[in-house]
Structure 1
Amino acid sequence: MTDTRYLELPDGRRIAHRFTPGTGPTIVFLPGYMSDMSGSKATALFEMAQAAGRPCLLVDYSGCGESPGDFADGTLSRWRDEVLAVIAAAGLEQVVLVGSSMGGWLMLMVAEALAESGKVKGLVGIAAAPDFTEWGIAQMDKNMLADGETIWEDNPYGPEPTPTHPGFWADGQANLMLDREIAWDGPARLLHGQRDTDVPWDISVRLAERLRSADVQVMLIKDGDHRLSREPDIHLLLRTVAELVLARDPAA
């Protein structure tokens, strides 16, 4: 892995990221909720890109991983703008966005924001979770969030409970996507485990229906869980991303 770099935004936020140069579209990995660029999928993609001479960008949202800040201040819109700022600062001309869980929602938001630029050449979702502030939260908890309270849920991946802050929830509700057409016309590959207890696999099917593109494939892993971080899952991810990058690279 290369050293961590920091992009300072006008308001003082410092966004940690790692970049390896190369030829062809840049693989941009967007981690999930309370995750960061040190995870196994991000690391595997980065190492694959380095070995193949392909560019890859990893990002930590503010308040996550190596980016300073308060996680409670984070929202989808705020993190989308941070990703866009790092892409712009790096001068990336073509990108393939890879989004894991919540990162799959951000992937769609970034793709829409860059639609007119033509920069985005492909999407790869890993248990993509658009609209989880709607379908993933009970009505009683929504009422608490609407009243400005933080809710806490058991965390199957660590000892500390998982918070949902009212600002994040409200911003998510303002950016729902599964109730409309998503104006994306390029290739999209959606990987999802059918034993995912966090994001139902039918979310990827619904997303495929909402994407305007005809070049959309949903790949269901029958015994796969939410993380899809086992060795065969990682191999499927790497193969899927590599095929998409090569297919969109005229020099390949």
Structure 2
Amino acid sequence: MTETRFHAMPGGRQIAYRFTPGQGPALVFLPGYMSDMAGGKATAVFEMAQATGLSCLLLDYSGCGQSPGDFADGTLSRWKEEILALIEALELQEVILAGSSMGGWLMLLAGLALGERLKGLIGIAAAPDFTEWGIPQMDKALLADGETIWEDNPYGPEPTPTHPGFWADGQANRQLEGEIAIDCPVRLLHGQRDPDVPWDISLQLAEKLRSADVQVTLIKDGDHRLSRESDIALLLRTVAELVLPRAGAAD
């Protein structure tokens, strides 16, 4: 097991990460909202990379998992900055981003910033723009007034907060309203029994991406997490399809 390390950001933030060097483009797994790098999908991707000699980076956004900080300070822009800082610090020249739920929004923002270094995207129940379509108008008004809203959390005992800073930053980073200038191969996986992110979001995303190499895989009985053994197997096959040919070409 590769040890957890910490990257120091300007201003004192410490970002927890795990990295295994290897061939080909580096896989970078981006967790969902209030999730971390200890999740089942992230762990499976990391273990696959270690077993096949691929490069892989896991990280916890500030205020999440092992990274210190206040979750209430977290925004997409802040977390994107942390992702890009780690990619730079580790000198990763080619990158494939895999994003789960909110991580699927962050993969677009980070991918746009990476430019030609971006070699692929894998979205797992990707949730771009959920501050727009996922929040009722009444709650948007509360957030706009500076109030935090709380929702029932089906995945844990504590309610899920949405803080006004995160919401405002999300609204400023919406991606589905115009063309997304990304040209690399993109694979989108989505369960059709996802109660949190409608699977139509992946279809909308596929339409907005400029890339001609976009494939959407719908799992008819899949839920939001897509963490069953069969779901993990599909994710790893998808990773292998994108990464292994490039890793072979780099030999």
Confirm or deny that 1:91 pairs with 2:91. yes
Q: Which residue of 2 aligns with 1:183?
A: 181
1:247 Cα deviation (Å)?
A: 3.0
| Offset from partner CA, 1:98-145 (integer Å, 9 cap, x none) | 000000000000000111xx1110000000000000000000000000
AA at the equivalent of 1:77: S
Overall identity of the aligned pairs, in %: 76
Compute the TM-score of the two structures, normalised by the length of structure 1.
Answer: 0.98
AA at the equivalent of 1:91: E
**Aligned counterparts of 1:146 and 1:105: Cα–Cα separation in 2:** 21
| Offset from partner CA, 1:167-213 (integer Å, 9 cap, x none) | 00000000000001000111000000000000000000000000001
**Aligned counterparts of 2:25 and 2:141: Cα–Cα separation in 1:** 43
**Aligned counterparts of 2:40 and 2:9: Cα–Cα separation in 1:** 28
1:150 Cα deviation (Å)?
A: 0.1
Note the 1:3-18 alignment, pairs <5 A: 3-18=3-18
SS at match of 1:106: helix
Confirm or deny that 1:197 pairs with 2:195. yes
1:42 Cα deviation (Å)?
A: 0.4
Aligned residues: 250
Q: Which runs of 5+ in 2 are unaligned?
A: none
**Aligned counterparts of 1:159 and 1:203: Cα–Cα separation in 2:** 27
**Aligned counterparts of 1:46 and 1:186: Cα–Cα separation in 2:** 22
**Aligned counterparts of 1:186 and 1:44: Cα–Cα separation in 2:** 24
AA at the equivalent of 2:22: G
**Aligned counterparts of 1:96 and 1:248: Cα–Cα separation in 2:** 11
Q: Which residue of 2 aligns with 1:165?
A: 163
What's the Cα RMSD here?
0.7
**Aligned counterparts of 1:28 and 1:193: Cα–Cα separation in 2:** 22
Note the 1:102-113 alignment, pairs <5 A: 102-113=102-113
AA at the equivalent of 2:41: K
Q: Which runs of 5+ in 1 are unaligned?
A: none
Q: Which residue of 2 aligns with 1:54?
A: 54
**Aligned counterparts of 1:100 and 1:56: Cα–Cα separation in 2:** 16
| Offset from partner CA, 1:134-167 (integer Å, 9 cap, x none) | 0000000000000000000000000000000000
**Aligned counterparts of 1:247 and 1:224: Cα–Cα separation in 2:** 28
Match of 1:217 among 215, 221, 230: 215
Confirm or deny that 1:71 pairs with 2:68. no
**Aligned counterparts of 1:172 and 1:152: Cα–Cα separation in 2:** 17
SS at match of 2:23: coil
Question: After the TM superposition, which parts of structure 1 deviate over 4 Å for at least 4 consecutive aligned residues?
Answer: none
**Aligned counterparts of 2:128 and 2:169: Cα–Cα separation in 1:** 12
Q: Which residue of 2 aligns with 1:251?
A: 250
Note the 1:85-164 alignment, pairs <5 A: 85-115=85-115, 118-164=116-162
Compute the TM-score of the two structures, normalised by the length of structure 2.
Answer: 0.99
1:10 Cα deviation (Å)?
A: 1.4
**Aligned counterparts of 1:106 and 1:89: Cα–Cα separation in 2:** 19
**Aligned counterparts of 1:92 and 1:140: Cα–Cα separation in 2:** 43
